[in-house]
């Protein structure tokens, strides 16, 4: 039935769990969950209290990563010696 509010829109991007999102970012699941708790990454909490479950949209994580393409310090030279 078109327009049925009970049926999910399957054309939308699915939410992924912390393990999948962490693999996408090449970080540990615990690190990603810590970043989510501190509000440092785009994340969607399920539940309340200190033991929330987190879900992520890979497109939001990708945009977040691309928006932070800067370096606080120039890369260090791999050669020994004084500069």
Number of domains in the chain: 1
Within a domain: 30: yes
Domain span at 47: 18-65
- Inter-residue contact 25 to 54 (CB < 8 Å): no
Within a domain: 29: yes
Residue with tokens 């969607």: 44
Tell me the pLDDT band of 77, cut-offs 50, 70 and 90: low
Within a domain: 10: no
pTM: 0.69
Within a domain: 83: no
Within a domain: 33: yes
Within a domain: 36: yes
C-alpha angle 21-61-38 in degrees, rounded to nearest 5: 85
Q: Who has greater pLDDT, 54 or 76?
A: 54
Tell me the pLDDT band of 80, cut-offs 50, 70 and 90: low
Within a domain: 76: no
- Report the alpha-carbon distance of residue 3 to residue 7 in Å, rounded: 8
Within a domain: 81: no
């Amino acid at each position: 039935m078109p327009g049925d509010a009970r049926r999910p829109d399957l054309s939308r991007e699915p939410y992924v769990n912390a393990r999948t999102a962490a693999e996408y970012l090449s970080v540990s699941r615990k690190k990603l969950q810590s970043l989510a708790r501190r509000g440092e990454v785009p994340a969607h909490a399920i539940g309340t209290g200190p033991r929330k479950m987190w879900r992520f949209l890979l497109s939001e994580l990708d945009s977040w990563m691309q928006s932070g393409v800067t370096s606080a310090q120039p890369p260090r030279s791999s050669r020994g010696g004084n500069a």
